[in-house]
Amino acid sequence: MGKRIAIYPGTFDPITLGHLDVVERGTKLFDKVIVAITTNQKKKPLFSMKERLVLAKEAFKKYPRVEVDSFNTLLVDYAKKKRCKVILRGLRELSDFEREFQHAIVNRKLAGSTETVFIMTSAKYFYLNSSVVKEVASLGGKLDCFVPKAVEAALRKKFRK
């Protein structure tokens, strides 16, 4: 039997402690988790792709079974390229489920061998998302309870300008 690999896709703009929680728990289920950073035409990112890659690599440097990568194709095409059949997704609230369920079905239609595994976010992070973090950062608020140290520093630098 081969390695059990899961791809955890997202824009990660920026990466939060909630994302780390999902990946850490995912490494208990899979031999390797690929944090795959992508663009989203509906969102205007605060951080460039290069910056998000650097921040994610820093956030996951102590996790030997986590790889950080980027892609700009259909997720199922990226998964085929990585020889991966599992998409890992975190769920925070009911509205996440509706959107994620739709994505999972579309991915299955596009690539029948692709399965999506959902992990419920820990209760201490159920409210947390990147938009909230950016809003708090833009107003000079406390960030250490939301993001890793390197992300906090990068946010402070972005909003000082």
Q: Which of 44, 60, 47 is CA-nearest to residue 157?
A: 47
pLDDT tier for residue 161 given thresholds of 50, 70 and 90:
low
Query: How many domains, the chain?
Result: 1
Domain of 137: which CATH number?
3.40.50.620
Write out pLDDT tens, residues 47-101.
999 999 999 999 999 999 999 999 999 999 999 999 999 999 999 877 778 888 8
The structure's pTM equals 0.93
Give residue 89's domain range. Answer: 5-160
Catalytic residues: 19, 43, 92, 130
Burial class (CB in 10 A: 0-12, 13-18, 19+), 139: exposed
**Res. 112: pLDDT tops 70:** yes
Q: Are 52 and 150 in contact (CB under 8 A)?
A: no
Between 149-160 and 130-138, two packed helices, what is the crossing angle to 10 degrees? Answer: 50
| Chain mean pLDDT for the chain | 93
